[in-house]
Amino acid sequence: MLKQIDKAATRERIARRAEREIKNGFYVNLGIGMPTMVANYIQPNKEMVLQSENGLLGIGKSPLQDEVDPDLINAGKETVTAATGASYFSNAESFAMIRGEHLDLAILGGMEVSETGDLANWMIPGKMIKGMGGAMDIVHGAKKIVVIMDHVNKHGEPKILNQCKLPLTGKQVVDRIITDRAVIDVKEDGLHLVEVADGWTVEDIVASTEAKLQIGEHVILASY
């Protein structure tokens, strides 16, 4: 099913839906790329704290032009603001928080996710990268892992697969997948379709997903 896609609007929709995963009292890490957009849509009535692996606890919204401080950046080297009461610390202390399982939720980008919750998001063979980053620690340290990504790649091929083809970040680590088309939970018995986004049908989701989906009676249609 061919559709005209507005990439900016799609990314915003995914980020807005991902924000609903954040609950009051949560300590949350947002991964590089699209996950950082989630910070812009956090509801003001939510009491939560964003943690950056490079040493900032209490990230605020993206800065306006006159608010930019080049010394305040997230793990993706994007400028950020510090919320009231924010604290700064070393990279080592940050990873002690992550490895100590003090994060309630991590929202990460993904290149591929398998039917068993394996995640590939850190490199494409043959392409230059600066390093593996902190995702390999985060996927094992955070209590819940939500992956946000496009449902298919730029060639229209599925990104939710029977088995990942790219190098893995972690095995059986993903709890929920949020794409531009659907919300899918990873459970012990496989992938469960939970929600279908506006403009798509259950049939569309099945056709654009390589891995088998379990579809119950309570799938929410047109939910975001």
Catalytic residues: 53
**Quick one: residue 25, left, alpha or beta (phi over 0 = left, psi -120 to 50 = alpha)?**
left
Strand partners, 15: none
Query: Which residue reads 């510090």 in tokens?
Result: 82
Structure-token pair, residue 146 = 């939500």
The answer to whether residues 202 and 215 touch, using CB atoms and an 8 Å cutoff, is yes
What is the rounded CA–CA span in Å between residue 159 and residue 110? Answer: 9
Q: Provide Rg for the chain, Cα atoms.
A: 17
Q: Residue 98 burial by CB count (10 A; 0-12/13-18/19+): exposed, middle or buried? A: buried
